[in-house]
Structures are given as structure tokens and as C-alpha cells.
């Protein structure tokens, strides 16, 4: 083996080892969390003092967690559906039309990604308090829709940019109305991007804590319920439900990559 080949092999081995170390560092907190959730004892300790699923069962025995989970699922579903509709309409306007303020509109729609969520939550609290609707489902729904809007707009705009408008024009030349041509030709082609946008938006809404904490009242979301629980309890129940959320999120991400191809989508 030549000296150059040996040096190249050492470089590849070094990169592989460094990459493995980075992955381990990133995953170590999650490994500890899973280990704590399986602890047979009543304390949050790692390594676990025996293995047990008792704390996972305790999650379903608490009414607070069940109500918070139902509320979070409903809120995330409603916010995602609304953001998808607005994202498609905004994507059509941004990609297919040229009008004054087009870039400003796109920047405004993407701004929740760069504005700190503490600022967003405080702004909504002050605005909704002035309107006397801060303790309402409507306020929470509007805020979550705005927070997840960047994911739907960015992915739908990306999908429409790659879409060949001539396909839709061909359908219209054969007698299809604009709405029918869009529904039968454009939507099936951009559907993978819409599905990816929906997954990202749903997960972002479901796990949001920083901005949501400003608008909670007697109804709380699951992340806030978990935070409140760990303030008063020291058992591994919170670790168990956090592990369940991580598993569901990982399954959604793997399914997205398997059936749509996040890697291929991101390279386009």
C-alpha cells in the first residue's frame, strides 16, 4: 500500500471516529432519558436500579397527561391543517405572480423562524390581553398556526418552484378548469412536499413549549404538563412520557425519509 493510500485511509478513519463521537455526544442525553424511564426504583437515576415499565403505565393513569395529550394533538392537527392551506395559497402567489412586496411577504411568513419564541409568546400575550381573549383556544390556535407557517410555506414554495407549469397548462388546454387542473395535476406532484411540511409543522406545534407557556390557562399542552410535573415530582414518569414522544417523533421522521425521501428532497 502506498504512503498516499495509507494517509487517505487514516484520514477516513479519523473522520469516521470523529463522526461517531459527535453522534454519541448528541444521543447521550436521550440514552440517559430512556435509561431513567426504565428505572424500577422511584427516583430519577442513571444507570437504572433495575428495569421496569411501571412508569410508562403511570403515564396513562394520570388524567392530567391524558387531557394534555388530547389537547396537544387537537391543537397541532388544527394548526397544521390551517398552515398547509395558507402555505399552498401563499406559495401559489409567491411562485406564480410578481407583485410589489413579494419578497417582503415571504420574509414576513418566514420570520417566526428567526424571531425568538419568547418574544413571540410575549407579543401574543400582550396583544390578546388587550383584546381580552388571552385565555382562549383561539389565541393558542392562531399563535401555533403562525409558528408553524414557515415550514409549510418554505416546502410548498420549493415544491411549486420545481413544478413545471406547462403540465397544468396542458390540462387546461384540454378543457379542465384552473381549479380542476390544479387539483388533478399540480397537487399530486407537490403532495410529497406538502406531506413533509405537514409532518414538520405538526411536530413543531406539538413540542412547542417556550411560546406556548405564555398563553396557558386551565388547559395545558403536553410539554407544559410535563414541565409542571417535574417541578413537584421526582419519579421517572416524566422521563417515560418524554421517551414516548421521542419514539413517535423518530418514527414519523423515519417514515418521512422512507416513503418520501427527505435526503433527496433536501438536495433539490
The verdict on residue 226 lying in a domain is: yes
In a domain, 33, yes or no: no
> How large a percentage of the chain has pLDDT more than 90?
6
Domain membership flag for residue 12: no
Residue-wise pLDDT tens digits, 175-193: 777 778 878 888 888 888 8
Residue 2 lies in a domain: no
Domain of residue 211: give its range: 55-267
CA distance 183 to 168: 10
Split into its structural domains, the chain has a count of: 1
Asked if the structure places residue 48 within a domain, the reply is: no
CA gap 79, 143 in Å, rounded:
9
User: What is the distance between the alpha carbons of residues 150 and 152, in angstroms, rounded to a whole number?
Assistant: 6
**Residue 62 placed within a domain:** yes
* Whether 113 contacts 226, CB under 8 Å: no
CATH number, domain at 255?
A: 1.10.3720.10
Interval 52-88: pLDDT, tens? 788 888 888 788 888 888 899 999 999 999 999 988 8
Cα–Cα distance measured from residue 132 to residue 125, given in angstroms and rounded to the nearest whole number = 10
d(CA 48, CA 37): 8
* 233 is a domain residue: yes
Within 13 Å and on the Cβ side, how many CA atoms surround 175? 0
pLDDT (tens digit, 9 = 90+) per residue, 3-49?
Answer: 555 556 566 777 778 888 888 888 888 888 888 888 877 777 777 77
- Note whether residue 236 is domain-resident: yes
Amino acid at each position: 500500500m502506498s504512503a498516499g493510500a495509507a494517509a487517505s485511509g487514516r484520514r477516513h478513519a479519523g473522520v469516521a471516529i470523529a463522526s461517531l463521537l459527535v453522534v454519541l455526544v448528541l444521543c447521550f442525553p436521550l440514552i440517559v432519558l430512556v435509561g431513567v424511564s426504565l428505572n424500577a426504583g422511584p427516583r430519577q437515576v442513571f444507570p437504572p436500579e433495575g428495569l421496569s415499565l411501571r412508569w410508562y403505565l403511570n403515564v396513562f393513569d394520570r388524567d392530567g397527561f391524558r387531557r394534555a395529550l388530547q389537547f396537544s394533538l387537537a391543537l397541532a392537527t388544527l394548526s397544521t391543517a390551517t398552515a398547509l392551506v395558507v402555505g399552498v395559497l401563499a406559495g401559489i402567489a409567491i411562485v406564480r405572480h410578481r407583485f410589489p412586496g413579494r419578497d417582503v411577504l415571504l420574509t414576513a411568513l418566514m420570520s417566526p423562524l428567526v424571531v425568538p419564541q419568547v418574544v413571540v409568546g410575549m407579543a401574543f400575550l400582550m396583544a390578546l390581553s388587550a383584546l381580552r381573549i388571552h385565555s382562549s383556544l383561539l389565541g393558542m390556535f392562531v399563535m401555533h398556526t403562525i409558528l408553524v407557517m414557515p415550514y409549510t410555506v418554505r416546502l410548498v414554495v420549493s415544491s411549486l418552484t420545481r413544478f413545471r407549469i406547462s403540465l397544468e397548462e396542458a390540462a387546461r388546454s384540454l378543457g379542465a378548469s384552473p381549479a380542476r387542473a390544479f387539483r388533478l395535476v399540480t397537487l399530486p406532484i407537490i403532495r410529497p412536499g406538502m406531506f413533509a411540511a405537514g409532518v414538520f409543522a405538526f411536530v413543531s406545534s406539538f413540542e412547542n413549549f417556550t411560546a406556548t407557556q405564555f398563553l396557558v390557562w386551565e388547559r395545558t399542552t403536553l410539554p407544559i404538563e410535563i414541565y409542571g410535573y417535574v417541578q413537584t415530582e421526582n419519579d421517572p414518569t416524566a422521563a417515560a412520557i418524554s421517551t414516548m414522544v421521542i419514539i413517535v417523533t423518530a418514527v414519523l421522521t423515519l417514515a418521512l425519509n422512507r416513503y418520501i425521501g427527505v435526503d433527496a428532497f433536501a438536495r433539490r
